[in-house]
Every structure is written in C-alpha cells, then in structure tokens.
Structure 1
C-alpha cells in the first residue's frame, strides 16, 4: 500500500497556509544569521574560548568549526532516513515541531555558557545546528504538497525572500541590544546571552503560524507489526536508491547541487573573513555589509523564483551560476572596499537566487508522497557541501601560506564545474519521472 495523498481530501493551499509555510523561513533565519554567521561565532572565539585560544592561537576557530561540522555530519547521514520515516508516518509536521523545539531550546540554553564553558557551548551549538538543519529539510518537504510544480519556483523564492528579512530583523534587534548594553557599561558576557534569548524568542514566536495553519496532506502507511519506523525509513531509502535510474535527473541534479553548493557554503562561511583579512573591513563595516547582502539576497530569491516558473528551472539556475562566477571574479580582483561592496551585493543576489531555485527544482523532481525522503536527500547534499567547501578553502589557504585570494579563486571552480554538470539535467524528463511515481 502506498501513502495516500490528501490533496483530494483537503482544499488546495490558500494564501494563509502558504504564508504560514513561508513564515518558517522567516523564523529560522535569525538563528543562522545571529548564531552561525555573525554575533555568536565571534563571541565563542573571542570570549568563551579566549583562554584556550591565547594558549594556542587558532584553537578557538578550530573548535567552532568542529562543532558546526559535527552538526552537518549528523544531518548528512540522518536526513534522508528521517525524511522517509516522516513520509511513511505522514508526520512531517510532528518532526518539524520536535526539531524546532530542539533548536529554540538549545539556542536559549547557549545563554548559560560563559567564558571558559567551551564544551558546553560546543555541545549546544552542535545540537542547535543539527535541529535547525533538520527543520530546514522538513519545511522544504511540504512544498510539493502546497503548490503545483509550475508554481514551485515563485513559492520557494517567496520563502527565501521572507527568510532573509527574518534574519535581518533578528540581527537588527540583537545589534540594538548590544549597542544599548555597551552604552550602559555592560560586558559582552552579559550582553550576548540576552541576544541569544531574543533570537530563540523570535524563532518560537514567528514559527507559531506554521504549526497553527500548515496541514499535513498525507495518510500514514501501516508499518507492520514486526518492523520499526526507523527500519521502514532505511528500507524506503534503499528502495529509492535501487531505482535511481528512474529518477536519473534528480540524482544528476543532486550531484550538480553538491558541487556548486560547496562554493555557496564556502562564501557563506568565509566571505566575512575574506572581507576582513584582505579588504580591511572592520567589525561594524562587516555587519552593515552582511545586512545589505541579506536585502539583495531577498531580491535575488524573489526575482529568480518568478523567472524560474516562466523560463524553467535549469535555464534560471544556469544564469544564477554565471552570476556567481562574475561575483567571485569581482571579489578576486577587488582592491578597494567600494569594489568589494559591489562584489558583495552581486554575491547576495546570486546567493538568494541559487538557494531558491535549487530547493524548487528538487521539489519539482519529487513525488508528492516521498517529499520528506527526497528533500532529505537535498539536505544531505547541502550538509556535505557545507563540509567540503569550507575545508577546501582552508586547505588551499594553508598550502598557499595564507593567500586568501588564491583560496577564493579555487572556490570559482565549484561554480564552473556546477554549470557544466547542469547541462546534463533534463528538466522535462525529471518532472515526468516524478509524476509517474506519484
């Protein structure tokens, strides 16, 4: 017996439900912006791990990378199985709730980690990042149920656009708290915990509409008396891999995604370091740059989401990868901060566009009743890329005695190779395979 789709039982998703879906992107983006990208990462190295770093330079950064890397590894190996379990039980929403509570709780608990509490902070960062990534996969798995394939591009674009503004709002609130705290003479060890509580609170509050309005549109398949849901998940995943030939364009695109997303992940993690070390940006200038890039990324996601539905996902993604190539070259040749501002905003547009288009294209290649499993594979590829990309940059930077320009140039290869691999993806055939499997 296959999972029964509820689209004939429930009315089509209306604006309220679609907005509730997009608001989850708004809710969870504050976590990545504040915890992983800007405020807490610097606080971990500069305050929590300061003593260790003073004894052995670079250890704080290494420990941070290990904590985030472990989270990516956990999600990489577990995401497809969790997705398959959620499909079989028709419980994507339950899994999403658990992951959201986990991320919000771990983020709030980070406020308890003070100077010297390195292992506590690392454990909570790993837990929060794991739960965040799991939730990101699960919310994406709802997309094939909510809109027809011809509208997935713009819907994915809406979600990413709203998400970037969510990150901007949370970051703005936290920066105001930091500014006021310093005016009052408070130490960072007293201020930053407040920003973590605010980040967790905004996540929890703005995610509520998702759980109140988003519907589960599948009926669970009986698992049998002598088999666990975990084993069911592995069996479903094995079945999919055994029938990879039927989904050849999905797997070709996942390979393409793994390559170019390695470049995207590198830029997300290391662009601020490049701007600081090579272009001489100060902390305040970096934060302003990140905020502006969030806006241009939202614009890129919105525009390319619409363009994707008009001219096709593969042509739109090809244009996006060309834009990435231009952006990396612009950053490579930049010698003045004004030039880096131009490169940064091109990167913003390309980042928003590529993320929105990638998620929608995987959704278009996904049978509705296997959305959790297939979007779990999307999550696996994203996590793998988050490990491979930054490590490759670090290795090249090390081998070239700290030459960030050479390391950035090596990142260009991910986008060039991704563009070449994309030419092998047949969008029409991939969509047809998904429809035949429904």
Structure 2
C-alpha cells in the first residue's frame, strides 16, 4: 500500500477540526512546562538537597556545612550533589530508552493514548514528590528519575504529532504557538507557587509544607491538562516508510518489516533498521549535530544564569526569582515572534539569527558590571526573547527533514541525543571556572557552542534534506 504523506493526511481533515486538534496539541506544552519550571527548574533541587542534608547531618546547626555523605548503592555522595547526580541518571536513562519509545510510537495507531500513558506516569511521580518529607531522600531520587524519564518519553510522542497536525509551511507557526503556551503555563504556576512559598507563614504553613504543596500542584497540573490532548486529538493510520526507497547516498532504505508482529514485537527490529539507515539522510543527521551544539550552549546558559547572577553580579534570591519569571514571560512572546519571522524569512535563517543573538547575549553577560540588577533584567529579557524562538523553530525545522514513516523514531533520536550530550556545556563551563576562578570567562566560553552550531547549520541543505525524507517542500527554508 502506498504510504500516506503527512501533507495528504492533514489536508483530508476539515479546517475547523484541524484547528481544534492543534489547540488540543498546544495544551500539552502548557501541561508539562508547569512541571519543568516549578519542579525541575526552581523548587525540587534545593528541597531535595535540604532533605538529603537532614539525613546525612541530623544535628547540623543553622548555617553550618554538612561534611557527611550519603550512601547511594555503596557510593558516597555529598548531600549537595545528590540532586545533580539524580538529574544525570535521569538524563542518561532517557537517552537509552527514548529510541525504543520512538520505535514503539511509530507502530502505534493511538498515539494520543501513548502520550497520555507516559504523561500519567510522570504526573503521578511528580505529584508524589509531596510525600518526600524528613529524611526520605531515597523516595525523592526515585520519583525524580521516573518523572524525568516519563517526561522525555511523552515529548517524543508529542513532537512526532506535529507532523500530523501541520503541513510544511505551517510547522513553524504551530510549533511556536505550542512553545509559547508552554512558557505561559509555566510562568503562571511558578508565579503562584513562589507566592505560596514566600507567604507560607501568613498562611499558617512552614516553608517545607508550602514547597510540597507546590510540587503537588505541578504534578496535578501536568496530569489534568494532559487530558485535553488525549481527548482532543484523533487517531490516524500508520504511515510506513516507502518500500525499496533509496537514500541520497545510494543505500537502499529497507521497508519496515515487523508491523504485522504487533507493536511490541517489532519495536527492536524497527529501531535497528532506523539506526542502520540513518546514514542515508546526511542532512537530517547534520542538522541534528548542529542542534546538539547550539542547544547545549542554550541549556548551559540557563543552568549557569543563577550561579553567575549570585556570584558575579551579587544578586539576592528574590532578584533571581524575578529574573526567572521575566524570562518565562518574555519567552511566551519570543516564541510567537520567531514563528512569524520563520514564516517570512525561513526557519533555517531565523535559527541562524537567533544564534547570533545568543552570542551577543553571552558577550553582554561577560561584560555586565556587578550590582546592576536593572541591566541583569535587560539581559534576562534578551534571553527570554531568543530562548523560546530558538527551541520552537529548531523543532519545526527538524520536522521538515524527518523521514516519512519514522517520525517518532527520529524525534526520539532528537530528544535522546539532546539529553545524552547536554553535559558537554556544563563540563566546559565548570572546567573554565576551575582554571580561571571566575564565572565570567566560563560564561564567555559558551560562545564556542553557538559558533560551532551555527557553522554546522550553515552547511545544512534543507531542501535536499526534505527531498531525501520524502516530504513536500516548504515555500521557505
């Protein structure tokens, strides 16, 4: 049977029905971003560190440093490093599992239910973090790993659904709206939870109780709003890759040979076939490599911003929280603005402009004088503007060169490779700090990631990649 191109399947849906599906799809960004901001970015790490410290040093005086360690599978771990190591384990686990998730997703008709299943597991783990009290750091570690791996798995399915909902000239705008709504949802719940934590005393709560309520709210938010895409999206028939097609290098791209064996039975075979024939799509792989470099720079800037602001600029915690909220709010508009720019000038060119902007942001951070909170907020505004746009347009640009019939598998590689290599920027940042004793040259060193990523992206022939993938050419690339 001839594969059904994504563009044909999209065109077969009435405009009104397609708009409703897109709105439902957007809501998953709104759902999971609340967990990412409230739990993953702001509250969990310091709370889990406090719980671990209480377990290692139960009689620690206020303001004192805990010199004891915890035993994790027989390995001594400092309480202050526990959350970082847990994040690393969750990241590596995702990098190993997500290709299998992608292979499974491409073999499942009811992708919306698969999305809901992964999100439900993650949301339950996130909400259960409210039960982490006293010295129960082990429970916190397990829940953080489960929630992180489930989030990554759900995003593979979610990103692959973009190709069902938007044609080649619509993907930039649709992707941008999803990212924008995610930033808005993350901003709203984070603002409410920070208000709860800062006003805990007036509400008759301890700070720890307020944090646990906030962690619970993020899990409930994630799970409840996931019902919207689960109920609002519709199932579509599978689109197998073209039989006997040839890749650009002349390698035969074998057809999928296990669909009759059921979803789980052929998953491993499908994954092996995808990895074997990925070399037949050099532009797809080159774009993925470029993304790994510049996205690593983006993630490291976000991770390092609080350290840089505290140590080099001398900001108080309340000022850092204000900056975080500002980034979230501005990123909402930034994603929409970049979506419009991509529609006018092309996605590849828009991403390249964003990398130039990131280079300027990093250079400005290096030169930012200490104690200038106003200038730091201006820098946070610039970060928010390019953050949402870079991520949203990168997703839609990659979607253009994903081979037909292996959408989720290639988005799994996108997600897994990002998670599996996101340590490189923080490693460079840490090494430069250790050698120089200052976060200023460390932040400046991240320019390398944007330059290398941009140079690789310049070499990507998007139209060739679209043709190799068997997709319809967009008007602008």
Give TM class, smaller chain. Answer: over 0.9
Structure 2 residue aligned with 1:428: 463
Question: Following superposition of structure 1 onto structure 2, how do residues 165-244 of structure 1 map, counting pairs within 5 Å?
Answer: 165-219=184-238, 229-230=263-264, 232-244=266-278
Partner deviation per Cα, 1:21-44 (whole Å, 9 max, x = no partner): 011001110101011111222222
Answer yes or no: is the 8 Å Cα contact 1:258–1:384 preserved in 2: no
Structure 1 residue aligned with 2:432: 396
Please say if 1:142 is aligned against 2:161: yes
Question: Following superposition of structure 1 onto structure 2, how do residues 38-437 of structure 1 map, counting pairs within 5 Å?
Answer: 38-52=42-56, 54-56=66-68, 59-219=78-238, 229-230=263-264, 232-335=266-369, 336-401=372-437, 403-435=438-470
Please say if 1:35 is aligned against 2:39: yes
Relative to 1, partners in 2 of residues 1:144 and 1:187: Cα closer, same or farther, differing over 3 Å?
A: same
How far residue 311 of structure 1 moved from its aligned partner, in angstroms, is 1.4
How far residue 56 of structure 1 moved from its aligned partner, in angstroms, is 4.6
Aligned positions, number: 437
How far residue 231 of structure 1 moved from its aligned partner, in angstroms, is 5.9
Relative to 1, partners in 2 of residues 1:383 and 1:346: Cα closer, same or farther, differing over 3 Å?
A: same
Aligned partner of residue 384 in structure 2, secondary structure = helix
Q: Over aligned residues, Cα RMSD in angstroms?
A: 2.4
Gaps of 5+ in 1: none
Q: What TM-score does the superposition give when structure 2 sets the normalisation length?
A: 0.85
Partner deviation per Cα, 1:310-331 (whole Å, 9 max, x = no partner): 2111111100000000011111
Structure 2 residue aligned with 1:15: 19
How far residue 239 of structure 1 moved from its aligned partner, in angstroms, is 2.3
How far residue 370 of structure 1 moved from its aligned partner, in angstroms, is 1.8
d(CA) in 2 for partners of 1:86 and 1:94?
Answer: 10
How far residue 108 of structure 1 moved from its aligned partner, in angstroms, is 1.1
Relative to 1, partners in 2 of residues 1:233 and 1:11: Cα closer, same or farther, differing over 3 Å?
A: farther
Relative to 1, partners in 2 of residues 1:271 and 1:227: Cα closer, same or farther, differing over 3 Å?
A: same
Relative to 1, partners in 2 of residues 1:243 and 1:225: Cα closer, same or farther, differing over 3 Å?
A: closer
Relative to 1, partners in 2 of residues 1:62 and 1:179: Cα closer, same or farther, differing over 3 Å?
A: closer
How far residue 233 of structure 1 moved from its aligned partner, in angstroms, is 2.6
Answer yes or no: is the 8 Å Cα contact 2:300–2:426 preserved in 1: yes
Pick the structure with greater CA Rg. 2
Partner deviation per Cα, 1:272-300 (whole Å, 9 max, x = no partner): 12111211121111111111111111121
Relative to 1, partners in 2 of residues 1:170 and 1:88: Cα closer, same or farther, differing over 3 Å?
A: same
Answer yes or no: is the 8 Å Cα contact 1:161–1:352 preserved in 2: yes
Q: Which moved further from structure 2: 163-172 or 277-286?
A: 277-286
Relative to 1, partners in 2 of residues 1:215 and 1:162: Cα closer, same or farther, differing over 3 Å?
A: same
Answer yes or no: is the 8 Å Cα contact 1:178–1:192 preserved in 2: yes
Q: Which moved further from structure 2: 305-314 or 120-129?
A: 305-314
Kindly indicate which of the two structures has a greater share of residues assigned to helix: 1
d(CA) in 1 for partners of 2:257 and 2:279?
Answer: 26
d(CA) in 2 for partners of 1:312 and 1:348?
Answer: 21
Aligned partner of residue 339 in structure 1, secondary structure = helix
Answer yes or no: is the 8 Å Cα contact 1:366–1:374 preserved in 2: yes
Higher relative contact order (CA 8 A, sep 6+): 1
Q: Which moved further from structure 2: 95-104 or 217-226?
A: 217-226
Partner deviation per Cα, 1:147-205 (whole Å, 9 max, x = no partner): 10111001111011000001011112212322342213522222211111111122222
How far residue 88 of structure 1 moved from its aligned partner, in angstroms, is 1.5
Relative to 1, partners in 2 of residues 1:205 and 1:436: Cα closer, same or farther, differing over 3 Å?
A: closer
Gaps of 5+ in 2: 57-64, 70-76, 241-255
How far residue 411 of structure 1 moved from its aligned partner, in angstroms, is 1.4
d(CA) in 1 for partners of 2:386 and 2:259?
Answer: 49
Answer yes or no: is the 8 Å Cα contact 2:239–2:405 preserved in 1: no
d(CA) in 1 for partners of 2:287 and 2:342?
Answer: 16
d(CA) in 1 for partners of 2:166 and 2:396?
Answer: 11
d(CA) in 2 for partners of 1:184 and 1:316?
Answer: 47
d(CA) in 2 for partners of 1:3 and 1:373?
Answer: 17
Relative to 1, partners in 2 of residues 1:156 and 1:7: Cα closer, same or farther, differing over 3 Å?
A: closer
Q: What TM-score does the superposition give when structure 1 sets the normalisation length?
A: 0.93
d(CA) in 1 for partners of 2:257 and 2:377?
Answer: 55
Q: Which moved further from structure 2: 77-86 or 29-38?
A: 77-86
Aligned partner of residue 314 in structure 2, secondary structure = coil
d(CA) in 2 for partners of 1:123 and 1:387?
Answer: 21
